[in-house]
Amino acid sequence: MEELPLSALGAALVLLLAMSAFFSLSETAMMASNRFRLRHMAQQGHRGAQKALDLLARTDKMLGVILLGNNLINSAAATLVSVIAMELFGDSEWALGLGTLAVTFAILVFSEITPKIIGATHADRLALLLGYILHPLLRLFYPAVWFINLFADALLRLLRLKPEQHDQAPQLSPEELRSLVLESSHLIPQKHRAILSSLFELNDITVEDVMTPRGQIEILDLDHPWEDVLTQLATSHHSRLPVCRGSLDQLIGILSVRRLLGNLNSDDFDEPRLLEQLQTPYYIPAGTPAFSQLAFFQENRQRIGFVVDEYGDILGLLTLEDIIEEFVGDFTTSLPGLGNTLHWDETGAVIVDGGRPLREINRMLGLDFPLDGPKTLNGLILEHFEDIPEADLSIKLAGIPIEVLQTHNRSVITVRLFRPKPAGPNLYKSTSE
């Protein structure tokens, strides 16, 4: 039998390296492909995606045929290089060593590193094509793959390892899903991304985080003169008002103001007729998760409730809009002439109402006030001082410089926040020290 010329041997070596590169590319591309995207395309009827998912559902078989082909080809390439080296340099040890180094370099560069980088970079597009090729290869070499997997499965059982089942969609935790949403800036508009991100936080938010504190609730006090009651009804900017006598501790019910607008100028409209329009107040235990309360509002067609502590004292007012605003964003429900958003001015400062929720301040200004204690900026400052601070006092909380501008009775009315500096010496020191 005549020996093959070197040109034929060289062409065979190039072919083997190309086949090895194909299997290396296939392994990386299939394992790095986005299974959620493949599943979506398969549901749309894409045959390549369906074949790719079928292979990924049998990862042990898919890897078996890929590694079987890759190892056989690499072994054949190493043998062929030895033959070429002997043809060129004779039967010498240094020639065989040189051939081993050469084939190792060629396999690493042309059949491993480069194709795997390509496979990882274009995994989703390549997986759609590779499904058409690997599927028939698996059928062709299935007996050999099955025989090899017998030993692999036995070794896994010996090590007490159970292979994962890939016939279902990968299970992701809420934190992992939230990370996917935050990292999808090139696919999802910023506003949509913010809403989706906020949805994952609803289970960690209680009704106390989103309610209107008791001190900010507008009430309709029936102990006031009747003329004052009518004036308040005509000028109120709220669609519903808590009706009480003296204070919220003597709450009577909830009044829908819109139902009375046509009767306010009527001569026979009096207190008994107003009381007939009242709805029974609904109470919400403090600590109730906001998401659970949202579901309750939806199921029972409720829109408003009062948050109470363990002693039955009213802590605040919660509406359906309060929960929705937490993840959708603020609606234009503030009083006319009052701004509802916060922005840093040109000096890096902003004036904030002391009763403003910390969650809202963090979201609007990108700050990091702690949320595991007081719910409002006023509460945070009072907790820090353990007393009522005086005006023109400066402190630093959570790395944020704060200047108290106005206090009244037992509350901090307004403060000025300064944008925290990312680096440099501490220029703001608490004057309370």
For residues 259 and 151, membership in a common domain is answered with: no
Task: Return the pLDDT at 338.
Answer: 40
Q: How many CA atoms lie within 13 A of 173 on its CB side?
A: 3
pLDDT at residue number 182: 64
Of 19, 50, 207, nearest to 115 by C-alpha is 19
| Whole-number pLDDT of residue 389 | 75
User: Do 24 and 127 sit in the same domain of this protein?
Assistant: yes
Residues 357 and 315 in one domain: no
Give the chain's residues under pLDDT 50: 1-2, 167, 332-339, 425-433
Between CA 67 and CA 72 the distance in angstroms is 8
403 vs 345: CA distance, rounded Å: 15
Domain total in the chain: 4
Same domain, 225 and 310: yes
Q: Which residue has the tokens 């400066």?
A: 394
- Provide CB contacts within 8 A for 33, sequence distance 6+: 52, 56, 123, 124, 126, 127
- The whole domain housing 313 covers 210-322
Query: Are residues 314 and 406 part of one domain?
Result: no
Give the pLDDT score at 405.
Answer: 86
Q: Is 331 within the bounds of a domain? A: no
pLDDT in tens, 110-155: 888 999 999 999 998 899 899 899 888 888 888 888 888 888 888 8
pTM score: 0.53
What is the spatial distance between Cα 410 and Cα 313, in angstroms, rounded to a whole number? 19
Q: How far apart are CA 287 and CA 290, in angstroms?
A: 9
In a domain, residue 424? The reply is no
Give me the pLDDT at residue 427, please.
45
Residue 83 covered by a domain:
yes
* Same-domain pairing of 135 and 224: no
pLDDT of residue 423: 52
Residues 26 and 110 in one domain: yes
pLDDT value at position 163?
61
